[in-house]
Amino acid sequence: MRALTWHGTNDVRVDTVSDPEIINPRDAIIKITSTAICGSDLHLYDGVIPGVAPGDVLGHEFMGEVVETGSASDLEKGQRVVVPFTISCGGCFHCKQQQYSACDNSNPAEKQDMSATLYGQPMAALFGYSHLTGGYSGGQAEYARVPFSDVGPIVVPDHLEDDKVLFLSDILPTGWMAAENADIQPDDTVAVWGCGPVGLFAIQSAIVMGASKVIAIDRYPNRLELAKQLGAEIIDFRETDVREALMEMSGGIGVDAVIDAVGMESHGFAIDNMFDVVKQKVGMGADRASALKQAILAVRFGGKVSIPGVYGGMTDKWPLGAMMEKGLQIRGGQTHVQKYTKQLLEKIEDGTLDTTFLISHRLPLEQAAEGYKNFKEQQNEWTKVILKPGMEN
């Protein structure tokens, strides 16, 4: 089959690789109809995530048609499914708590040691996202092997086209969980750093959850415009002192909740000598966390801090005093996708949530490398890219 493979920093290519096969009883094989490039794919592209090997097939946001099933899969050939980026068994302690992104059993035993060194506990598996998270082939390809296919994939009705449901795989539930982690109450003022796809969905979710005011912070006019269309007030951080502005916009109290949808900055990713031991073992250094630090200073006493942005390693100069003195609640987390897919599919069907507004480009899979390059370098215009295997060039 054809698949987008990683070759090195800033080097991804569409190659011919072996077709996936059913290996375990609960597997299914999906013929992919749509797959997106995610902001976190750019961390792989930038080469800042360790454990990626040349030839690895990337992509964790995908959907398609079931073409083959293992003996214990409950899917049927011909069904259209969206596949969560988190691989979850459904039977372990964490899965039973609906903490799907902490599944004990999806990361192969021999691959768990690397992340256990970094976090004290091993990570669950994700599609197409480094051998830290299992080294599973991703979905920027013609086909994908989907383990635990009775737990992850959600069957979508035929009347909803791919563009409407594809983002159930990651960024929509991620934005939703970001807002949920900000514990939004009806009269809250919420500030969101980053108007990439996750930030935009967090803004939309916060509004649906009843926030009285959502303030979006970014530097790209087009992305700020998308936030404005959703009903947010906007701040361009190149133009404005963000903390001053937030204090004014919240009537001097400070915002009730903050959401950091920026995460580690892939550009200028710094290595801190203090963490050489960890770095030697897992190849991760210090994360720059300037948006998060700013968010913690801007939130009100007793405020809520939500971190959907991806961080990998350590950070320094953490505003510990602010966290303690202001009595903050801080919640992060990889998305428990399977917990949200059903309710969010209903909200898409009844029109409460729109997922199509941020799609800027649709490309054939063969042009995936071009998609990566532009998504990274032209963030103002290339807001979200969908790849379609089989689409005419």
Partner 1 sequence: MSQNSKIGAGLGGVVLTAGAIAFGAFLSNRHQNRGYDDAANHTKRQPEGSNAQVGRSVTIRKPRAELFAFWSDFSNLPQFMENVEAIEAGADGASTWRIKAPPGQTVAVKTEIASKKQDELIAWRSVEDSEIETSGEVRFEDAPGERGTRVSLVMAYDPPAGALGRAVAKLFLREPQVQARHDLKRFKMLMETGEIATSARTRDETRAAKQENG
Closest CA to 14 of 364, 363, 362, 368: 368
Task: Give the one entry of partner 1, Zn ion, none that residue 109 binds, where binding means its C-beta sits below a cut-off of 5 to 8 angstroms depending on kind.
Answer: partner 1
Task: Give the one entry of Zn ion, partner 1, none that residue 25 binds, where binding means its C-beta sits below a cut-off of 5 to 8 angstroms depending on kind.
Answer: partner 1
- Phi and psi of 201, rounded to 5°? -70, -30
* Shortest distance in whole angstroms from residue 367 CB to Zn ion: 19
- C-alpha 141 chain-centroid distance: 19
Residues in the interface with partner 1 (CB under 8 A) total 36
- C-alpha 85 chain-centroid distance: 8
Task: Give the one entry of Zn ion, partner 1, none that residue 20 binds, where binding means its C-beta sits below a cut-off of 5 to 8 angstroms depending on kind.
Answer: partner 1
51/303 with CB nearer Zn ion:
51
Task: Give the one entry of partner 1, Zn ion, none that residue 38 binds, where binding means its C-beta sits below a cut-off of 5 to 8 angstroms depending on kind.
Answer: Zn ion
The site string for partner 1 over 22-51 (x = CB under 8 A, - otherwise) reads -xxxx-------------------------
Q: Which of 9, 11, 53, 96 binds partner 1 (CB under 8 A)?
A: 96
Which window, 140-148, 163-171, 232-240, 291-299, contacts partner 1 (CB under 8 A)? 140-148
Task: Give the one entry of partner 1, Zn ion, none that residue 328 binds, where binding means its C-beta sits below a cut-off of 5 to 8 angstroms depending on kind.
Answer: none
C-alpha dihedral sign at 96, 100, 101, 106? positive
Which window, 26-34, 35-43, 272-280, 321-329, contacts Zn ion (CB under 5 A)? 35-43
Q: Which of 113, 225, 244, 248 binds partner 1 (CB under 8 A)?
A: 113
Region class of 290: left (phi > 0), else alpha (psi between -120 and 50), else beta: alpha
Task: Give the one entry of partner 1, Zn ion, none that residue 170 binds, where binding means its C-beta sits below a cut-off of 5 to 8 angstroms depending on kind.
Answer: Zn ion
Give the span between the Cα atoms of 66 and 69, in whole angstroms: 7
Closest CA to 193 of 231, 222, 236, 229: 236
Instruction: Tell me how far CA of residue 154 lies from CA of 53, 66, 167, 338, 341, in angstroms.
Output: 30, 11, 12, 8, 7
Give the span between the Cα atoms of 380 and 218, in whole angstroms: 10
* Shortest distance in whole angstroms from residue 266 CB to partner 1: 24
- C-alpha 357 chain-centroid distance: 17
Q: Which of 11, 19, 187, 225 binds partner 1 (CB under 8 A)?
A: 19
Q: Which of 137, 169, 306, 355 binds partner 1 (CB under 8 A)?
A: 137
Closest CA to 192 of 200, 247, 168: 200
Residue facing Zn ion at closest CB distance: 38
Q: Which of 110, 158, 239, 350 binds partner 1 (CB under 8 A)?
A: 110
CB 106 within 8 A of CB 27: no
40/107 with CB nearer partner 1:
107
User: Which residue do the tokens 């009843």 mark?
Assistant: 210
CB 81 within 8 A of CB 154: yes
39/389 with CB nearer partner 1:
389
Please report whether residue 198 would count as binding Zn ion according to CB under 5 A.
Answer: no
Q: Which of 1, 22, 42, 92 binds Zn ion (CB under 5 A)?
A: 92
Please report whether residue 62 would count as binding partner 1 according to CB under 8 A.
Answer: no
Give the span between the Cα atoms of 273 and 285, in whole angstroms: 8
Give the span between the Cα atoms of 233 and 219, in whole angstroms: 14
Q: Which of 134, 153, 173, 389 binds partner 1 (CB under 8 A)?
A: 134
Written as six digits, the tokens of 363 are: 């490309």
Which window, 83-91, 197-205, 222-230, 269-277, contacts partner 1 (CB under 8 A)? 83-91
Written as six digits, the tokens of 67 are: 């073409």
Q: Which of 38, 146, 211, 246 binds Zn ion (CB under 5 A)?
A: 38
Region class of 287: left (phi > 0), else alpha (psi between -120 and 50), else beta: beta
Please report whether residue 371 would count as binding partner 1 according to CB under 8 A.
Answer: no
- Phi and psi of 357, rounded to 5°? -65, -25
User: Which residue do the tokens 């790849």 mark?
Assistant: 387
Q: Note the residue count of the chain.
A: 393
Residues at the contact surface with partner 1, assessed by CB under 8 A = 17-21, 23-26, 57, 72, 89-93, 96, 104-113, 125, 131, 134-137, 145, 147-148
Residues at the contact surface with Zn ion, assessed by CB under 5 A = 38, 88-89, 92, 95, 103, 105, 170
